[in-house]
Amino acid sequence: MLFDSTFETEAQQEIRALARKFARDKIAPIVEHDEETGTFRPELIQELGALGLTGIPTEEAYGGAGLGYQEYIAVIEELAAVSASYAISVAVSGLPQIILQTFGNEAQKKKYIPKLASGEWIGAFALSEPSSGSDAASLRTTAVKQGDHYVLNGTKLWITQADTANVMILMARTGGEGPKGVSSFILEKGMPGLKMGKREKKMGTHIDHTMEVLLDQVKVPAENLLSTEGNGMKIALSALDGGRITISATGLGVARSAIEVATHHANLREQFGKPILDFQGVGFMLADMLTSYHAAKMMVQKAAYLKDNGKPFSIPAAQAKVYATDMAMKVTTDAVQVLGGSGYTQEFPVERYMREAKVLQIVEGTNQIQRLVISRALKT
């Protein structure tokens, strides 16, 4: 009962159990191999879709489950407990669904959402550029209106699963400097001029590829403009608010597995005639790990609850993101320490958990930016 889900309904617990079984049966046997080789298996996303787990917060009218973020974080946590990469892939593929559902017109919703929600198609989100990361509104990719289409030119960086995505929501500049000059577009795989650049060689999460995206005179139909010109940053920031909740849930999953492995080891490993768990230096460390996990989980659940109930959630999402991902980094680092020399080898998964946790402090807005967002809310 160390990791019970006290505040979940029976239905939410059933969804969690379904995701947990899939992760353990389908992903666990291949995760170490695929992380080592950088192999992404789109068929696993399709299988998750067949179970109804890739369109959790998407309306039933467009092929989704019609549920909320409280169910969504349960799925993400269970996937992340086995593979942060696949948890991130599902979460990133969910972003276009959520964006289209909120800002798309009826034709756009019907065309794209059902295939994304079913897992048949994979989605991506393209905001960052070589010169614009935290300062996203300074992006330089351009979109120039020419008759019945826009012509896009520029470079995007750090785009998760861009190489396998069928649909990509991309931000480009249609007007002057600053956020009001940014618009949002729907790009499809195979559009002439849309090319993949380098694939990043990352510390961890090797399964979900992080790509450079090159746009060379890409013609995008005018009907693929999302909302109106100049509304792109509003769309992007809205998506990131929700994304911070799923990244927080990813941190929960990674941390939970690290605690499980470290606790198991501490019970079995004996030194000076007794299990190392009996030594306060180890036992208290594990106690703090478990306590911080549960504190983070309550923060993530609160942010999800607020979003589901139409209440302001931007600050709680930022707080959850900071706390849960910092917690995941500390917990995984401590798990390596509990295992000692063994923890530093690839014989045990805690070194992978530690590498996976690090990126969570960076993506969806660095934790430094989250603290800036939170501190601004304190102004009187």
- Beta-strand relationship, 167-173 and 210-221: unpaired
Q: What angle do CA 235, 236, 237 make, to 5 degrees?
A: 95
Q: How far is CA 224 from CA 169, 229, 353, 376, in A?
A: 10, 11, 39, 35
Taking the alpha carbons at both ends of the chain, their separation in whole angstroms is 43
- Which active-site residues does the annotation give? 364
Give the sign of the dihedral formed by CA 261, CA 267, CA 268, CA 271.
positive
Q: Cβ distance 302 to 320 under 8 Å?
A: yes
Rg (CA), the chain: 21
Q: Cβ distance 103 to 231 under 8 Å?
A: yes
Contacts with 6 (C-beta within 8 Å, 6 or more apart), sequence order: none
How is the chain split among helix, strand and coil, in percent rounded to 5? Answer: 55, 15, 30
Element (H, E) at 296: helix 280-308
Across the chain, where does the E strand assignment appear?
123-126, 142-146, 149-160, 167-173, 182-188, 194-199, 210-221, 225-226, 270-271, 274-275
- Cβ burial, residue 25 (10 Å; 0-12/13-18/19+): exposed
Query: Directed axis angle between helix 350-360 and helix 314-339, to 10°?
Result: 160
Q: How far apart are CA 336 and CA 332, in angstroms?
A: 6
Q: Is 57 helix (H, G, I), strand (E, B) or coil?
A: coil
Tokens of 222: 């005018």
Residue 88, CB half-sphere, CA atoms under 13 Å: how many?
Answer: 24
Q: How far apart are CA 229 and CA 102, in angstroms?
A: 16
